[in-house]
Amino acid sequence: MNRSSTPIKVSEGSVSFEEQIQPACGSAARSVLPEHLTTRDPKWLLVEEGFTLSREHEIESLFAIANGYVGNRGSLAEGSPLSAPATFVAGIFEQLDTPGSVPQLMVLPDWTSVRIWIDDQPLSMQQGEVLEHRRVLDFRRGILWRQWRHRDPHGRITRIVAFRFASLSDRHLLLHSVSLIAENYSSTVRFESSMEIGESAASLLEPDWKTRCSARRPNVLPLTVSAPGRDTTIAFGVTSQMLNSGQIAGRRMVNINGRRISEHCEIEVEVGAECHLHRLISVFSSRESPKPFECVMDHLSHVIPLGISAAASAHASEWESHWRAADIEIDGDDSLQLAVRFAGYHLISAANPNDSRVSIGARMLTGAAYKGHVFWDTEIYMLPFYIFTHPAAARALLEYRYHTLEAAREKAHHFGFRGAMYAWESADTGEETTPRTVIAPNGEVLTIRNGEMEVHITADIAFATWQYWEATGDDDFFVQFGAEIMLDAARFWASRGVIAQDGAFHIRNVIGPDEYHEDVDDNVYTNLMAAWVLRRGAETAKLLDQRWPDRWRELVSRLQFTNEEIASWIKLAAAMFIGFDSKTLLFEQFKGYFDREAIDLKTFEPRSAAMDIILGHERIQQTNIVKQPDVILATYLLGDEIAPDVRAANFRYYEPRTGHGSSLSPSIHALIAARLGNNELAQKYLKQASEIDLGNNMGNAAGGVHAAALGGLWQAIVFGFAGLKTSSDSLSFVPNLLSHWRRLAFPLQWRGRKLAIEIDLETMRVGVSGTQSFKLGIEGGSQITAEPEGEYVAKRTKQGWKPWSMVHSSA
């Protein structure tokens, strides 16, 4: 862009200037996104046709873009009466100075605000006539598109095509492009793009930004903000380019003060003219560097010369790479195909393998609900996706738990326990951030006890740690980080329970995954998982001592483990009270569960609300209604430690008593039903799980997408319908496709190998690329030793699956 400029006006706290924009012709005036970066296959596209104002918050969440470092809601650039634009950076929390406040993911300035005027008429869907409007989220490329054709009150027809993305190849880079075509008018068109700091945040002007402005053209507009209650600075730099195919020049006006940067580009357009506004935004924080704004300037100085097309190509290429490692293909069910790609898209967008001091909040970087807090959702529901498709991201997520061990130890100490008692909800520091109370809309003040009693999270984290290590063979992680998590978790459980007069080890006053029942004793999920952790803790000590004695000695010295303590863990695990009836094969979910008031959930159907709303918080505690999988979840996670007939009996018992009052629920039921061959239930729950965010009639996603549900959906397919089971040296499958699925295919990474799985109703194929042989099994068929490289096929007959046979070997 050629510019001629007026002098810069610098006044107290602001800078403004004007410059002329010369027309750009030919290829430079066209849209920069090459055709090959546009996806046409509808199975990769989420499309919102038209515009429904009342759904806007949901749409913003569903259409959010993110790259694990920064996320942005899919809001309209010009806004609307219900727009809630937001930018989030992982790990950037604020804590307001109000009583009872907890840290919350900070809503950062919206970088996508672009408003357009045709003469003095703002281009708005609230005025004039919307001729065409759609938002398209391209899962494959990670790009959000908007196509809008509008007739304003003066009859002028304007076409807008816009796209934006948060670069997956360069996580500090954001790109926003808006193209305008004046279909039937000649007029003055003005673009206003702006970023503004919210009221609660403090603006920090870089000390030398005025000097920069006067020294050269400030083609990078700065905005720096500090997070309230935190010593964190976030810096944005915005640079833009306006291209105009017309022959008439325009002008650009910039105004920068401490809290707002705005840029006006004014152009005279003729009929059929195209204008393109391209914006590159860089964002850094003081978490990465003590001088984030310097990083912004350096970053953009490297990015700008490469151009927008190169940035887009790199971003799309990175997405291709991720999809090669994660895409699930389902032939025969297009809506489910879209749902699993929606899940995969958001899961890929949420993780950052380069930052081990953040995790993934319950709504990812797509919305402010749940304040960005991290729950067991990450380890039990989301982590398996990363373990088997992007191990580096899984490791980073678990390292976050390592880095927050100190806070977990302090919490344990506070409650009089030993070891690590992880926060039920955590933010940046690992401290407990669960709000203490909430006013329900029926006026009831609910005391929230999860922070104190929902202790199973410590077992969940330890379980996930071991699961990662077993699935990857990442000894480096285990030695440096994982072992300490295991040991301190075991130490916690040993202190959390009591040996009672019956000689059993009881864990009392807890909340299990079924949160409808609080302050219960001997919740089966908690006790089974705690026992598992105690055994694994002892095994960890033994492994370290044998294989990594230096590390073991260091841990012993620092954390004062003794042989007696380790030995006690085995005894406590053996003595763990598990309410189990060997005749019925049923676990009693907690002590006294079987005596609770029996409620037939069918009598409440159909219903549109959770059961605790219909019955009330107090009443539901007295009933046998289960909020979400509890016993059932344990029977899934503990795999072969639970006999198949026990798993089946407990599913038959608890399934009809589960109210599914949590979005974490349907996917696990789908998974287990599929494993048990109950395809009617499996299909029902799979559909329910796939519609939690995408169903358009409940407003569920207004505050952000349901991260755990998305991870659960992936698990339902891979562990449920494909029936994947893993151990440290074997893979096996229990395939069970729904009858209308023609084919299910997905990639996996496991212990340094890449696998390609393909299943249809009669055949299963596994392609392997690795360096070591392993055991490969299939339901009903014998296990074989698979070569490091090769392809294997198993065929289904009426009698079941035949054993694997090698198709070819790449060795």
Partner 1 sequence: MTAALPDWNASIRAEHEATRSVESIVLALDGTEHSRPAIPVARTLSELYQATLHVTYVGEGGGALDLKDTARRLGLSAEEAHGVFFEQGKAGAATRLTELARHLPHALIVMSTETGPAADTGHFGAVTESVFASRPERTVLLSPNRGNKPWRPRRILLAHDGTPACHAATGAAAELAHRAGAEVIALHVAARGEEPSGEPGSIPAPLYVDQPQHEWPAWTEEFMNRIIAAGAPPSSVHFKLAVTGGQAGSEVAKVAQDRGVDLVVMAWHGHWDRESCATRVVVRNSDCPVLLVYSAD
Q: Which residues are catalytic?
A: 515
Nearer to partner 1, 123 or 328 (CB): 123
* The one among 26, 305, 443, 503 contacting partner 1 by CB under 8 A: 443
Which residue, among 745, 716, 733, 522, has the nearest Cα to 636 in the 3D structure? 716
Contacting partner 1 within 671-710 (CB under 8 A): 692, 696-700, 702-703, 706, 708
Return the number of other C-beta atoms located less than 10 Å from residue 3's C-beta: 14
Cα separation, 414 vs 409, in Å, equals 9
Which residue, among 254, 260, 256, 132, has the nearest Cα to 196 in the 3D structure? 260
Cβ partners under 8 Å of residue 45, min gap 6: 39, 136, 137, 138, 139
- The CB-of-579 to partner 1 minimum distance in angstroms stands at 26
Angle at CA 733, nearest 5°, toward 729 and 735?
Answer: 175
Lay out the site mask for partner 1 across 164-183 (x = CB under 8 A, - = otherwise). Answer: --------------------
- The CB-of-691 to partner 1 minimum distance in angstroms stands at 10
* The one among 607, 652, 742, 775 contacting partner 1 by CB under 8 A: 607
Cα separation, 599 vs 340, in Å, equals 34
410 φ/ψ angles, rounded to the nearest 5 degrees: -65, -40
| SS3 label, residue 190 | strand
Nearer to partner 1, 137 or 572 (CB): 137
Nearer to partner 1, 51 or 653 (CB): 51
Q: Which stretch binds partner 1 (CB under 8 A): 154-162, 229-237, 430-438, 767-775?
A: 430-438
Element containing residue 575 per DSSP (H, E): helix 563-575
Contacting partner 1 within 39-78 (CB under 8 A): 52-55, 57
Cβ partners under 8 Å of residue 340, min gap 6: 328, 330, 690, 713, 714, 717
Q: Note whether 606 binds partner 1 by CB under 8 A.
A: yes
Question: Is 419 in contact with 494 (CB distance < 8 Å)?
Answer: yes
Return the number of other C-beta atoms located less than 10 Å from residue 762's C-beta: 11
Nearer to partner 1, 52 or 509 (CB): 52
- The CB-of-358 to partner 1 minimum distance in angstroms stands at 19
Nearer to partner 1, 655 or 787 (CB): 655
Lay out the site mask for partner 1 across 350-369 (x = CB under 8 A, - = otherwise). Answer: ------------x------x
Residue 170 per-residue DSSP state: S
Locate 237 and state its tokens.
């730099």
Question: Is 631 in contact with 456 (CB distance < 8 Å)?
Answer: no
Cα separation, 57 vs 55, in Å, equals 6
Which bin fits 560, alpha (ψ -120 to 50), beta or left (φ > 0)? Answer: left
Contacting partner 1 within 228-287 (CB under 8 A): none
Cα separation, 759 vs 674, in Å, equals 15
Q: Note whether 124 binds partner 1 by CB under 8 A.
A: no
Q: Note whether 437 binds partner 1 by CB under 8 A.
A: yes
Cα separation, 41 vs 48, in Å, equals 15
Contacting partner 1 within 646-665 (CB under 8 A): 660-665
* The one among 69, 88, 191, 370 contacting partner 1 by CB under 8 A: 370
- The CB-of-59 to partner 1 minimum distance in angstroms stands at 10
Nearer to partner 1, 61 or 404 (CB): 61
Q: Note whether 799 binds partner 1 by CB under 8 A.
A: no
* The one among 110, 152, 518, 612 contacting partner 1 by CB under 8 A: 612
Exposed / middle / buried, residue 496 (Cβ in 10 Å: 0-12, 13-18, 19+) = buried
Nearer to partner 1, 703 or 777 (CB): 703
- The CB-of-261 to partner 1 minimum distance in angstroms stands at 23
Question: Is 713 in contact with 690 (CB distance < 8 Å)?
Answer: yes
Q: Note whether 609 binds partner 1 by CB under 8 A.
A: yes
Please count the residues of this chain forming the interface with partner 1, following the rule CB under 8 A: 57
Locate 742 and state its tokens.
């023609």
- The CB-of-127 to partner 1 minimum distance in angstroms stands at 12
Nearer to partner 1, 251 or 371 (CB): 371
List the beta bridge partners of residue 148.
133, 160
* The one among 25, 131, 271, 438 contacting partner 1 by CB under 8 A: 438
Exposed / middle / buried, residue 294 (Cβ in 10 Å: 0-12, 13-18, 19+) = middle
265 φ/ψ angles, rounded to the nearest 5 degrees: -115, 120
Beta strand 202-203 with 437-439 is: unpaired
Q: Which stretch binds partner 1 (CB under 8 A): 90-98, 242-250, 271-279, 371-379?
A: 371-379
Nearer to partner 1, 74 or 537 (CB): 74
Q: Note whether 556 binds partner 1 by CB under 8 A.
A: no
- The CB-of-102 to partner 1 minimum distance in angstroms stands at 9
Nearer to partner 1, 305 or 441 (CB): 441
- The CB-of-170 to partner 1 minimum distance in angstroms stands at 32
- The CB-of-759 to partner 1 minimum distance in angstroms stands at 31
Nearer to partner 1, 167 or 458 (CB): 458
- The CB-of-716 to partner 1 minimum distance in angstroms stands at 16
Q: Note whether 615 binds partner 1 by CB under 8 A.
A: yes
Distances (CA, A) of 635 to 525, 682, 692, 794: 9, 16, 24, 27
- The CB-of-514 to partner 1 minimum distance in angstroms stands at 13
- The CB-of-664 to partner 1 minimum distance in angstroms stands at 7
Q: Note whether 98 binds partner 1 by CB under 8 A.
A: no
Nearer to partner 1, 413 or 607 (CB): 607
Beta strand 763-769 with 789-797 is: antiparallel
Question: Is 750 in contact with 727 (CB distance < 8 Å)?
Answer: no
Q: Which stretch binds partner 1 (CB under 8 A): 210-218, 349-357, 410-418, 432-440?
A: 432-440
Question: Is 255 in contact with 16 (CB distance < 8 Å)?
Answer: yes
Q: Where are the alpha helices (DSSP H) in 446-548?
A: 450-453, 456-472, 475-477, 483-496, 524-547
Q: Where are the alpha helices (DSSP H) in 143-264?
A: 209-215
Nearer to partner 1, 142 or 704 (CB): 704
Q: Note whether 716 binds partner 1 by CB under 8 A.
A: no
Dihedral Cα 338, 344, 346, 352, nearest 10 deg? -160
- The CB-of-494 to partner 1 minimum distance in angstroms stands at 28
* The one among 248, 314, 446, 756 contacting partner 1 by CB under 8 A: 446
| SS3 label, residue 310 | helix
* The one among 448, 559, 638, 745 contacting partner 1 by CB under 8 A: 448
Residue 108 per-residue DSSP state: B
Q: Which residues bind partner 1 (CB under 8 A)?
A: 52-55, 57, 81-82, 126, 362, 369-371, 373, 375, 425, 434-435, 437-446, 448, 450, 604-610, 612-616, 660-665, 692, 696-700, 702-703, 706, 708
